[in-house]
Amino acid sequence: MRIVVCIKQVPDSAEVRINPETNTLIRDGVPTIINPYDLHALEAGLQIRETAGGKVTVLTMGPPQAETALREAIAMGADEAVLLTDRAFAGSDTWATAYTLAKAVEHIGADVILCGKQAIDGDTAQVGPEMAEFLDMPHISYIRKIVDVAADKLIVQRLMDDGYDVVESSLPLLLTVVKELNVPRLPSLKGKMAAKKAEIRKMSAADLKADEKNLGLNGSPTQVKNIFAPEAKTDRTMLEGTPDEKVDTLLKELVRLKCI
Amino acid sequence: MYIKVKSELCTGCEACVASCPYDAIVIKGAKAEITELCQLCRACMSVCPEGAISEYREASDEKETAQGRGVWVFAEQREGRIAGVSLELLGAGRGLAEKLGTEVSAVLFGGTDHDAKELVRWGADKVFHCDDPGFQAFNDEPYAALLSKLITEQKPEIVLTGATPIGRSFFPRVAAKLRAGLTADCTSLEIDPETKNLLQVRPAFGGNIMATIFCPHARPQMATVRPRVMKRGTYDEARIGEIIKVSAKGIASRTKVVETVKEVSELAINLQDANIIVAGGRGMGNEKGFQLLHDLAEVLGASVAASRGAVDEGWIPYRHQIGQTGKTVSPKLYIACGISGAVQHLVGMQSSDVIIAINKNPDAPIFNVATYGIVGDANEIVLMLTKKIKDLKG
């Protein structure tokens, strides 16, 4: 089984803030991590390899620094890693990112592609399903359990708002996974040694034979107009006085609003 | 497009170097220089005190804007029930359509003729309805194939759906196929009065930051919208609309839903239907402090909810969590006690009718969305409020 796991290196989002004066992101000193959902995708890939045999390739697109994330994935047990890095990929939205990753998968070859349900920096959950469309393969999102793996088909549980669906699909297939699926393993000592020595395969736009008009900012239908911190409500009332007076005023308002 | 430093204006102050999240700016010969690591995020442009950093457009950036007309809402049905968010989007879609001088259409896959008529009563001028039995259960591929086909034929300018497990899963396939821009989890939609582009506001970075996204050229402009952030339109039993039957001939699926299992706790429903919610955060101090909220909720007949902080502390189970990674609610009254109000919490509750915020920090962002704010010790205020309500009720 050829298994490809897509990962993304992201800033630890709990620590990202906006500078109110310049309206820009403050990411100074914010550590980068493998997107947490992708660790569950990787774990699922490793488990499929353990039962069905085959090879796990981790794939990412990003600046050269993203190599660190790939080495971490090898330490966890991935067999090989591919880094898509090129100036031409800069400014990609989800469409251009999915196109680029799909091009890489055409070179690598895949029976099962696994992605985290979304990345914690963008939260869009779009790249996985978009890749499946570019590769003309089915996909199933929000997988919480892999019920059965056969040579030509997979049965999974898909998490929904009101419960779950049991869904069956032919291969090749792309899955996006949620945290409930598994507990990601920690890197082993052997894995860490392998990660140090591993050769990371780097691919550029030219290596992918990608259509330039589909890459980077140029290939992105969406653009960011601006970023901002949320606005203040204009009609708010701050209640004044001693705590006792504040509560009395509040009580009057609650009665007026017919909440009591 | 590329970003460049005008070296004659650069003073070498290094403000841009610190602002760059990608380490893509270096100082060479006392001047800043942007390297090939640049991801075009523009963070440096606004921090430069000299205004020496600008973006430059290239010939390849110039594209023609595709044409389109009409606002579409994908009406999601699951086991014969139309999702609430679809009705909210018909309301929001009407507002957008009026600004564009166009009409609102709904797209319904599965469901009945009655459902199609209901969509008209909730605001649709037209309903494209496919009642093929294969479309009753949700499968990504056929849903994406049929919606793409309809969009290609009819050319709407805006296509919306709820940010639900269904909408978030198959809309990306449609966007990929049509080369359309898609914005996920929007919390607000506006029409730019000049360009008529759809301005889509969404939280990013786990909700710490809001971003406005637009699609300058590609059409349709597609978005998934979070449930319960838009208000439903008015239901009009007498409204007349056109219902157009759509055939799914020739559309196949390689996935198949074998079984559907319901697993919803009573509480999840109660929370989203509650008229009054009393919510607490880390500011309640400890489990005992958090317990005071249950007492307040009891006298008010309210449900208890929490911010992620309180859930992480283990004071209340995850299913009570409100926000980006929890539930979205819009009760008549939301009382936020000891919650600082990170954006990821705000997106889950800011459409509540009346919001009362109690926090000891006068600069807490929760006050930005509050109707009434009280600066003070949340434990003390909650205790006092509970007692006074009890007294009032006798």
Pair type for strands B181-186 and A163-170: unpaired
Are A227 and B372 within 8 A, CB to CB? no
In a domain, B254, yes or no: no
What is residue B305's predicted lDDT score, i.e. its pLDDT?
A: 95
Per-residue pLDDT of A95-113, as tens digits, reads 999 999 999 999 999 999 9
Question: In A, which residues are within 8 Å of B19 by CB distance?
Answer: 22, 24
Q: Are B139 and B115 part of one and the same domain?
A: yes
The pLDDT value given to residue B36: 77
- Is B351 domain-assigned? yes
Q: Residue B374 and residue B167: Cα distance in Å, rounded?
A: 39
Which residues of B fall within a CB distance of 8 Å from A218? 1, 60-61
Of A73, A3, A85, A4, give the one whose Cα is nearest residue A33.
A73
Residue whose token pair is 């600004």: B99
| pLDDT tens column, B241-287 | 999 999 999 999 999 999 999 876 555 557 877 889 999 999 999 99
Q: Are residues B97 and B212 in the same domain?
A: yes
Please indicate whether, in this complex, the C-beta atoms of B389 and A155 are within 8 angstroms of each other. no
Shared domain for B84 and B209, answered yes or no, is: yes
Using CA coordinates, name the residue in chain A closest to B18.
A28
Phi, psi of B46 (to 5 degrees): -85, -15
d(CA B190, CA B200): 7
Section A122-129 average pLDDT: 93
CB contact under 8 A, B365 and A25: no
Whether residue B296 lies inside any domain: the answer is: yes
* A16·B208 Cβ contact <8 A: yes
Instruction: Determine the angle formed by the axes of helices B140-154 and A127-134, rounding to 10 degrees.
Output: 80
For B219-242, b where at least 16 C-beta lie within 10 A, e where not — what string?
bbbbbbbbbbbbebbeeeeeeebe
CB contact under 8 A, A138 and B255: yes
Label residues B47-76 b or e (16+ Cβ within 10 Å = b).
bbeeebbeeeeeeeeeeeebebebbbbbbb
Same domain, B363 and B278: yes
Identify whether B295 is part of a domain. Answer: yes
Q: Which DSSP category does B60 fall into?
A: G
Residues B354 and B387 grouped into a single domain: yes
Residues B52 and B81 in one domain: no
pLDDT for position B111 = 95
> Do the domain assignments include residue B310?
yes
**Residues B54 and B89 both lie in one domain:** no
For residue B333, list chain A residues with Cβ-Cβ distance below 8 A.
254, 257, 259
The answer to whether the complex's ipTM is over 0.85 is yes
Q: Which residues neighbour B312 within 8 Å (Cβ) at sequence distance 6 or greater? A: none
Q: Which of A198-202, B94-98, B211-215, B328-332 has the lowest mean pLDDT?
A: B328-332
Report the pLDDT value the prediction gives residue A14, as an integer from 0 to 100: 58
Question: Do B139 and B56 reside in the same domain of the chain?
Answer: no
Q: Most B CBs within 10 Å: which of A101, A135, A143, A161, as the mutation test of the B interface?
A: A161
Residue B25 has pLDDT above 60, yes or no: yes
At residue B159, the pLDDT reads: 98
- B260 belongs to a structural domain: no
* pTM (whole model) above 0.90: no
Alpha helices (H) in A53-138, listed in sequence order: 67-76, 94-108, 127-134
- Asked whether residue B256 is assigned to any structural domain, the reply reads no
Q: Would you say residue B279 lies in a domain?
A: yes
- Measured CA to CA, the distance from residue B204 to residue A13 in angstroms comes to 9
CATH code where residue B302 lies: 3.40.50.1220
Shortest Cα distance, chain B CAs vs residue A180, angstroms: 13
B162 and B276 together in one domain: no
| 8 Å CB contact of B385 and A126 | no
Q: What is the CATH number of the domain that holds B15?
A: 3.30.70.20
Q: What are phi and psi of B287, to 5 degrees?
A: -60, -35
Burial A162-171 (b: 16+ CB within 10 A, else e): eebbbbbbeb
B contacts of A221 (beta carbons < 8 Å): 175, 179-182, 215, 217-218
Same domain, B298 and B353: yes
> B306 with B369, same domain?
yes
CATH of domain A2-219: 3.40.50.620
| Nearest-by-CA chain A residue for B379 | A243
Mean pLDDT for chain B overall:
91
The tally of domains found in chain B comes to 3
Q: State both tokens at A250.
A: 């509040």
- Cβ <8 Å between A239 and B255: no
Tell me: do B149 and B240 sit in the same domain. Answer: yes
The stretch B377-393 carries a mean pLDDT of 94
DSSP symbols for A182-235: --PPPPPHHHHHHHHHPPPEEE-HHHHT--GGGSTGGG-S-EEEEEEPPPPPTT
**Domain locations along chain A:** 2-219
Q: Where in the sequence is the domain holding B57, given as residue range(s)? A: 2-61
